[in-house]
Chains A and B, each alone.
Chain A
Amino acid sequence: EDQVTQSPEALRLQEGESSSLNCSYTVSGLRGLFWYRQDPGKGPEFLFTLYSAGEEKEKERLKATLTKKESFLHITAPKPEDSATYLCAVGSNYQLIWGAGTKLIIKP
């Protein structure tokens, strides 16, 4: 069965304290792994797509990496405005399979 698991459920960091979020998956026929950011009262905002193991993508303080079983979203020197829920999804057949998200809180 296709499945996506994100950890931790919640993460509190001090401003400037780097860390990583994990997304592990099992899927038959991966058609992309997607990272999104969701702010309260808003829809998920697309961040990255990764298609093959070893691929990396970067955007400002965020860097996403992919292996055959998991993806990491590395956050370097985060700022309070990076606080949000980060969602991971994998493409399978005609749909995305979603994880439950990691709520990230960056304290000033």
Chain B
Amino acid sequence: DTAVSQTPKYLVTQMGNDKSIKCEQNLGHDTMYWYKQDSKKFLKIMFSYNNKELIINETVPNRFSPKSPDKAHLNLHINSLELGDSAVYFCASSSDSAGQPQHFGDGTRLSIL
């Protein structure tokens, strides 16, 4: 059983389109995260939710909107995609918002044409 699963694994789309990435965790964790990993492999936090409430909202364009229907799911919707949005997006979860290890999905590689 995959602990943190993301779909789709690959996403190729045109500039200006709207797309969503889904994430689910079956670890019973309270906190979920979205990260962006750029071409230099640096992980940058985008959002964090604890029990469906937003607790971290880093400086991210408002074209990015997270949604947490329940504490096992955290989806990411992106409007009006731009070339600079091309990256790998990772979902993660942990049992605490700090002090506990985060467990990651295998990422969604987003390519904007």
Contact = CB atoms under 8 A, between A and B. Distances in A.
A87 B103 CA distance: 13
Given A85-B41, A100-B40, A95 B104 contact: no
A36 to B, nearest CB: 8
Interface stretch (B13-21, B66-74, B77-85, B94-102): B94-102
Contact of B107 (A42, A49, A95, A98): A42
Interface string A75-108: 0000000000101010111111010110000000
B41 A101 contact: yes
A100 B43 CA distance: 7
Contacts of B104: 43-45
How many chain A residues sit at the interface, stated as a range, is: 20 to 34
A93 B98 contact: yes
Contact of B102 (A41, A46, A92, A93): A46
Contacts of A32: 98-101
Contacts of A92: 98
B106 A42 contact: yes
B107 A31 contact: no
A93 B45 CA distance: 13
A84 to B, nearest CB: 11
A94 B101 contact: no
A89 B103 CA distance: 13
A34 interface: yes
Interface in B32-90: 40-45, 48, 55-56, 90
A10 to B, nearest CB: 11
Interface string A57-86: 000000000000000000000000000010
